[in-house]
Amino acid sequence: MTENLATITVPDGRTLGYAEWGDPDGTAVFNLHGTPGCRLNRHPDDAKLRATGARIVTYDRPGYGASDRDRGRVVNDCVADVAALADALGFDRFAVVGGSGGGPHSLAVAAGLPERVTRAVCVVGIAPYDVLGEAWLDGMDPANVKEFGWALEGESRVAAELEQAAREMLERVADDPANLLAEFDLPEADRAILARSDMAAVIRESVTECVRNGIWGWADDDLAFTRPWGFDPSTISVPTAIWWGAEDVLVPPAHGEWLADNVPGAITRVSTGGHMADPDTELEKLYGWLVGGTMWAD
């Protein structure tokens, strides 16, 4: 496994595990992983990461990988953790991006640290459950509907179910990393990305690491997504892009559309694919904007 692990202790005494990628002298960018996920989620080509001109910091959200659990956390609680990491690394200013489950967290950081965040991107991120209500599940694959149903029943139910889900995920990935999301009826665009040979090692490493100390990061994410986030996306004042997939069955397009309508001045991009962003597009266009370039053009 690629260890790439450093740790800090945040003010409340918890340990956070993090990793750095890309250009060590580049523009600081926090990349917040999806659900489930960990600090090892990244583009598979280290040389291409360095060429972005970004100094990329990933970290294990509480309960994942090397980070201690923070029971009862809400989405907005990530702001203090990112600020502590930025302080430890000497970043006065930085950009932030989050994909899937990391999307709402990237928006929280943008809303909570406007004096420090230069630009923010939310890629295929969910909208708040408390504003969409029952419509929040519309268009989701049945496997996702079932998982969030567990979360709505409470911590004990979702934890018990995710114990089994994690075992099955590890078995599938050990057999073939392309089977990471085999329980979902994915569009062909997503299946093609998962089948890329250069993605296999990253998938194996990250899946193993994210649940190395149990499923609490995953469970706490699901619980946080079905509760109030603790911040209002309409208060975001930094340049923010919202990116979603027209064929996404994990986070349906209506979520991206709601975020685009409720984040002031949001720059939107709708891909023709599904939930999986093309890794090379993410490098060339997304990171290019985050480090100070002009917005991507199709």
> What are the pLDDT digits (tens) for 67-117?
999 999 999 999 999 999 999 999 999 999 999 999 999 999 999 999 999
Q: How many CB atoms lie within 10 A of CB 95?
A: 26
pLDDT bin (cut points 50, 70, 90) of residue 281 is confident
CA 223, 224, 228, 229: dihedral to nearest 10 degrees? -170
Q: Which residues pair with 164 in a beta bridge?
A: none
> Nearest CA to 169 among 209, 131, 115?
209
pLDDT exceeds 90 at position 282: no
What is the reported pLDDT for 66?
A: 97
Q: What is the pLDDT of residues 24-48, one digit of tens each?
A: 999 999 999 999 999 999 999 999 9
Q: Tell me if 20 sits within 8 A of 90, measured CB to CB.
A: no
CATH architecture for the domain at 6-290 = 3-Layer(aba) Sandwich (3.40)
Which band of pLDDT confidence, cut at 50, 70 and 90, is reported for residue 236? very high
Q: Does pLDDT of 158 surpass 80?
A: yes
For residue 83, what pLDDT is reported? 98
Per-residue confidence (pLDDT) for residue 145, from 0 to 100? 97
Q: What is the pLDDT of residue 109?
A: 99
Residue 139: C-alpha distances to residues 192, 227, 253, 254 (Å): 21, 20, 8, 9
- Confidence (pLDDT) at 298: 53
- Structure tokens, 182: 């085999």
Judged against a pLDDT cut of 70, whether residue 21 lies above it is answered with yes
Interhelix angle 102-112/78-89, nearest 10 degrees: 70
Q: pLDDT band for position 296 (50/70/90)?
A: low
**Tokens representing residue 273 in the block:** 């694919």
Average pLDDT, stretch 126-132?
95
pLDDT at 1 over 70: no
**Residue ranges of the domains in the chain?**
6-290
Please say if the pLDDT value at position 295 is more than 80: no
